[in-house]
Structure 1
Amino acid sequence: MQAFLKDLFKDQQYDPENFFLLAGPCVVESEDLVMTVADKVSGICKNLGIPYVFKSSYRKANRTSAGSFTGIGDTAALELLKKVRDTCHLPVVSDIHAHEEAAIAAQYIDMLQIPAFLSRQTDLLEAAAKTGKIVNIKKGQFLSGPAMQFAVDKVKQAGNDKVLLTDRGNTFGYQDLVVDFRNIPWMKEHGAPVVMDCTHSLQQPNQTSGVTGGNPALIGTIAKAAIATGADGLFIETHPNPAVAKSDGANMLQLDYLEPLLEQLVKIRKAILPVG
């Protein structure tokens, strides 16, 4: 595990040979939701020795329909993320969508996430880098793993070596995504820890209803394959009741299913570790 990740998880007890986890509800809907999920997932991860980052978007700027829920307000949502951070003693990650958001969000959270559609935006990457926070860049659905070297370079050339890369699948036709697991070892060659987004890689975008679909029954399949092919971390959006979630309910994992899945993944991780 790289030094900046060890520092991120310094307040947690975990197995240093485990993968790390970024998990939480897609968007901040309410205080009750974020605190419930943070408490539940942190307890599971503590028991399994998994280092954990709480994830939730303070604003959803890339919804399909103009009528879709985008958030409870930036400041209110960021304050709730800070409450998770302070109360549950967890690092927090959230998305930013414009360069001017970087410095604002950095006051509340530990990791700035660059959405896949924006992974080539130089001003956004540089602004995130200059905050000194960890920058998690999601690979564009239209990019290969090797092409992400340029995104990594932009952050590092702006003076920040704390970079993660996250795969979330590649566009396959108009309304589906596929995961090319070659991208995991390819992106690791860039010197950045690699994460697999097990939920957004199962999206079915561009539906005529204006609501993105998904295939959450395959989250376990994607996660197991990612660990087996060398992913350093996993990204899983989870919700107590995805059917009533205000964003991405169609591809989130029901919270009750998370613990048994993580138990299986820990076993796979141990099975592939080098002997001696």
Structure 2
Amino acid sequence: MIFNIQNNMTKVIKITRYSLIILSGILLVIAVGSSVAAILTPAWQTVYLAEFQSEHEHGLWIDCTITKKFIKGITHNTHCTYKFENGYMQESGIHPEEEQHKFHEWHKVVLVLFGTAILSALTALCFSFCALCIRISAIVTNVTALIAAMSSSFAMAVFFISSHRNDIRFVPGITYTYEQTKGYSYYLGLGSMIAYIFAFIISVLATVMAFLHERQQNDTSNKSYPKSRLNGESPIPTGPTSIAV
């Protein structure tokens, strides 16, 4: 009876551990995909300039302008430029939103932090496959997942604080001043940060289950019973060792 309970507990812990590792891996894949999509897309901040009938999307390294033209219906023209293009920067002196197209240092910091998060998450994903057999791999997975979660959190914090500077948040027009709003790229980055954090928490739980599984196996293997009870034999009573006079 005791052995059956211990075996059932071992199976439950093992299944829970495998499920947590798989869930953590899925979250890491989602986080990496969201991070890459957030970096590659330009809509971290968006603003519609009614005076020019154009929507401007400002990203971490690329900016796009979507212009509407009412010629035989509504047509949309999209023009994208890189923040690090020297030619564009030289012509940006006459642009009303020139500050938005500069490649600021905080842009570079956000890119580096997201790159660190992606590399750490990929490392954690690789070690998570080995965590099923090698216990030390689970610890490495936790450390790298923590680095990914912290890096993405710092990246989002840097962007959030920097994007609220007056020279970044507000875009001057000819007669109006427009306020930028967060675009879909920002929410992709925010979603990846949340996925990184949950992946780290779940990987820690999986590691705890791994240690519990090993402890349960050790307790089961070290458990012993008297041979007489295992063989169904009754113990032989022993008599007195001395005779009273």
TM class by smaller structure: under 0.3
Q: Give me the TM-score of the superposition, normalised by structure 2.
A: 0.23
Q: Give me the TM-score of the superposition, normalised by structure 1.
A: 0.21
**Higher helix content, 1 or 2:** 2
Q: Which of the pair has the greater relative contact order for Cα pairs under 8 Å at 6+ separation?
A: 2
